[in-house]
Chains A and B, each alone.
Chain A
Amino acid sequence: MATEKKPDSDELIHIGPEMAVAEADLMPGEVGRFVHGTSLWRDAWRRLLKNKLAVFGLVVVVIVTISSIIGPTVIQRVFGFTPDYIPSNDPRLTQSFPPFTGPNGEFSWAHPMGTDNAGRDQFARVLQGGQISLFVGILATLVSLLIGVSYGAIAGYVGGRVDNVMMRIVDVLYSLPYVIVVIVLLSMFRSQTPRGQLILLFVAIGTVSWLTMARIVRGQVLSLKNQEFVLAARATGVSNARIIFRHLVPNTLGPVIVYATLEIPQIMLTEAFLSFLGFGVQAPLASWGSLAADGIQNIAVFPWQLIFPGVTMALTLFSLNFLGDGLRDALDPQMRTV
Chain B
Amino acid sequence: MSANGNLLEVKNLRTYFETDDGIVKAVDDITFQLKRGETLGIVGESGSGKSVTNLSIIRLVPNPPGKIVSGQVFFNGNDLLLLSNDAIRKIRGRRIAMIFQDPMTSLNPFMKISRQLMEMTELHLGHTKAQAYAHAIRMLETVGIPDARERADSYPHEFSGGMRQRVMIAMALSCEPELLIADEPTTALDVTIQAQILELIKTLKRKTGTSVILITHDLGVVAGMTDHVIVMYAGKIFEQAPTKELYAVPGNPYTKGLLRSVPDPTDEQGKLYQIPGLPPDVAHLKPGCPFAQRCDYTQDICTREFPPFVQLNADHYSLCHFAREVYSESGGIS
Residues of A with Cβ closer than 8 Å to B?
Answer: 28-29, 32-33, 35-37, 39-40, 160, 227-229, 231-239, 246-247, 250-251, 253, 336-338
Distance (whole angstroms) from the CB of A220 to the closest CB of chain B: 12
CA A337 to CA B158, docked complex, whole Å: 11
- On whether the beta carbons of A237 and B89 are closer than 8 Å, the reply is yes
Contacts of B106 in A (CB 8 A): 228-229, 231-232
Residues of B with Cβ closer than 8 Å to A?
Answer: 58, 60, 64, 89-94, 97-98, 100-102, 105-111, 119-120, 123-124, 146-147, 150-151, 153-155, 157-158, 168, 171-172
CA A207 to CA B82, docked complex, whole Å: 43
Q: Which among A229, A236, A336 is the interface contact of B93 at CB below 8 angstroms?
A: A236
- On whether the beta carbons of B100 and A231 are closer than 8 Å, the reply is yes
Distance (whole angstroms) from the CB of B266 to the closest CB of chain A: 36
CA A28 to CA B29, docked complex, whole Å: 51
- On whether the beta carbons of A250 and B111 are closer than 8 Å, the reply is yes
Q: Tell me which of A40, A227, A237, A239 has the highest count of chain B C-beta atoms within 10 A of its own C-beta.
A: A237
Interface of A, secondary structure class, is helix
- On whether the beta carbons of A236 and B97 are closer than 8 Å, the reply is yes
- On whether the beta carbons of A234 and B60 are closer than 8 Å, the reply is yes
- On whether the beta carbons of A251 and B123 are closer than 8 Å, the reply is no
Q: Which among A35, A40, A229, A338 is the interface contact of B105 at CB below 8 angstroms?
A: A229
Q: Which among A234, A251, A253, A338 is the interface contact of B108 at CB below 8 angstroms?
A: A251
Chosen A-B contacts, 17 in total, with CB atoms closer than 8 Å, are A28-B147, A32-B147, A35-B158, A40-B110, A40-B155, A229-B106, A229-B109, A232-B98, A232-B100, A232-B106, A233-B119, A237-B89, A237-B92, A237-B94, A238-B119, A250-B111, A251-B110
Q: Which among A32, A33, A227, A237 is the interface contact of B123 at CB below 8 angstroms?
A: A237
CA A251 to CA B111, docked complex, whole Å: 9
Please name the 8 residue pairs, one residue from A and one from B, whose CB atoms are nearest each other, closest first.
A236-B93, A237-B92, A237-B93, A235-B98, A228-B106, A228-B105, A250-B110, A338-B157
Contacts of B158 in A (CB 8 A): 35, 37, 338
Contacts of A160 in B (CB 8 A): 64
- On whether the beta carbons of A253 and B110 are closer than 8 Å, the reply is yes
Contacts of B124 in A (CB 8 A): 237
Q: Tell me which of A29, A33, A235, A246 has the highest count of chain B C-beta atoms within 10 A of its own C-beta.
A: A235
CA A229 to CA B108, docked complex, whole Å: 5
- On whether the beta carbons of B108 and A233 are closer than 8 Å, the reply is yes
Given A228-B106, A237-B93, A237-B94, 9 other A-B contacts at CB below 8 A? A32-B146, A37-B154, A232-B98, A235-B100, A237-B91, A237-B92, A238-B119, A250-B108, A250-B110
Contacts of A229 in B (CB 8 A): 105-109
- On whether the beta carbons of A32 and B151 are closer than 8 Å, the reply is yes
CA A236 to CA B89, docked complex, whole Å: 8
CA A253 to CA B108, docked complex, whole Å: 13
Distance (whole angstroms) from the CB of A89 to the closest CB of chain B: 61
Q: Tell me which of B107, B153, B157 has the highest count of chain A C-beta atoms within 10 A of its own C-beta.
A: B157
Contacts of B98 in A (CB 8 A): 232, 235-236
CA A40 to CA B58, docked complex, whole Å: 34
Distance (whole angstroms) from the CB of A24 to the closest CB of chain B: 16
CA A337 to CA B100, docked complex, whole Å: 20
Distance (whole angstroms) from the CB of A257 to the closest CB of chain B: 13
- On whether the beta carbons of B168 and A234 are closer than 8 Å, the reply is no
CB-CB nearest in chain B for A249? B110
Contacts of A227 in B (CB 8 A): 105
CA A233 to CA B98, docked complex, whole Å: 10
Distance (whole angstroms) from the CB of A230 to the closest CB of chain B: 8
CA A110 to CA B100, docked complex, whole Å: 70
- On whether the beta carbons of B123 and A29 are closer than 8 Å, the reply is no
Contacts of A37 in B (CB 8 A): 153-155, 158
Contacts of B123 in A (CB 8 A): 236-238
Q: Tell me which of B64, B90, B106, B120 has the highest count of chain A C-beta atoms within 10 A of its own C-beta.
A: B106
Known contacts A40-B155, A247-B108; is A29 also within 8 Å of B147 by CB?
Answer: yes
- On whether the beta carbons of B150 and A32 are closer than 8 Å, the reply is yes
Q: Which among B146, B157, B172 is the interface contact of A29 at CB below 8 angstroms?
A: B146
- On whether the beta carbons of A236 and B171 are closer than 8 Å, the reply is yes
Distance (whole angstroms) from the CB of B313 to the closest CB of chain A: 35
CB-CB nearest in chain A for B172? A236
Distance (whole angstroms) from the CB of B192 to the closest CB of chain A: 17
CA A28 to CA B120, docked complex, whole Å: 29
CB-CB nearest in chain B for A243? B108
Contacts of A228 in B (CB 8 A): 100-102, 105-106
Contacts of A236 in B (CB 8 A): 92-93, 97-98, 119-120, 123, 171-172
Q: Which among A40, A234, A338 is the interface contact of B92 at CB below 8 angstroms?
A: A234
- On whether the beta carbons of A235 and B110 are closer than 8 Å, the reply is no
- On whether the beta carbons of A231 and B60 are closer than 8 Å, the reply is yes
Distance (whole angstroms) from the CB of A252 to the closest CB of chain B: 9
CA A29 to CA B90, docked complex, whole Å: 38
CA A239 to CA B92, docked complex, whole Å: 11
Distance (whole angstroms) from the CB of B68 to the closest CB of chain A: 16
- On whether the beta carbons of A232 and B168 are closer than 8 Å, the reply is yes
Distance (whole angstroms) from the CB of A163 to the closest CB of chain B: 12
